[in-house]
């Protein structure tokens, strides 16, 4: 897609530090390196986010996420990792080409994903009825 920075990396119009590539997907180092080894896995075909990517591509991407997660952890000596995909601005998505973040973890303080407990304000049965 025109003006998509990740499509430009796929088309080699701008450089990317490519970790892995096959017919369906590309994995490359995230510029920000939020944690050491921060990697993005993206489909070669443009989809905006997880809501629109086709199921077969999504399944393949997660298979590659698993493979690369193991590889990155082993090679970099990470103790764990976070796998994350942001969907729409409200959730922090800035690049609207579907991507999965692999964030290797070395300690508890280097990255803040802050789950605040709102359980006091939520009726779980009402919530379940809404979702199902």
Which chain residues interact with ligand AMP by CB under 6 A? 5, 16, 30-32, 86, 92-95
Angle at 45 between CA 80 and CA 51, to 5 degrees: 65
Torsion of Cα atoms, 21 then 13 then 48 then 61, to 10°: 0
Residue 95 lies near Zn ion (rule: CB under 5 A): no
Q: Name the residue nearer to Zn ion (CB basis): 96 or 105.
A: 96
Our answer to whether residue 46 is catalytic in this structure is no
Candidates 37, 61, 65, 97: give the one binding Zn ion (CB under 5 A): 97
In whole angstroms, what is the distance from residue 80 CA to residue 38 CA? Answer: 12
Residue 7 lies near Zn ion (rule: CB under 5 A): yes
Cβ neighbours of residue 54 closer than 8 Å, sequence gap 6 or more? 47
From ligand AMP, Zn ion, none, interface partner of 1 (C-beta below 5 to 8 A by class) = Zn ion
């Amino acid at each position: 897609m025109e003006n998509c920075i990740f499509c430009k990396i796929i088309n080699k119009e701008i450089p990317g530090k490519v970790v892995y590539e096959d017919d369906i997907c590309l994995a490359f180092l995230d510029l920000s390196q939020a944690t050491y080894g921060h990697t993005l896995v993206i489909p070669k075909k443009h989809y905006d986010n997880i809501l629109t990517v086709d199921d077969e591509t999504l399944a393949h991407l997660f298979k590659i996420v698993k493979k690369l997660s193991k590889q990155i952890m082993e090679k970099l000596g990470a103790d764990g990792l976070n796998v994350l995909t942001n969907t729409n601005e409200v959730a922090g998505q800035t690049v609207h080409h579907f991507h999965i973040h692999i964030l290797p973890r070395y300690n508890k303080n280097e990255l803040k994903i802050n789950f605040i407990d709102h359980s006091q304000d939520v009726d779980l049965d009402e919530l379940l009825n809404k979702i199902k």
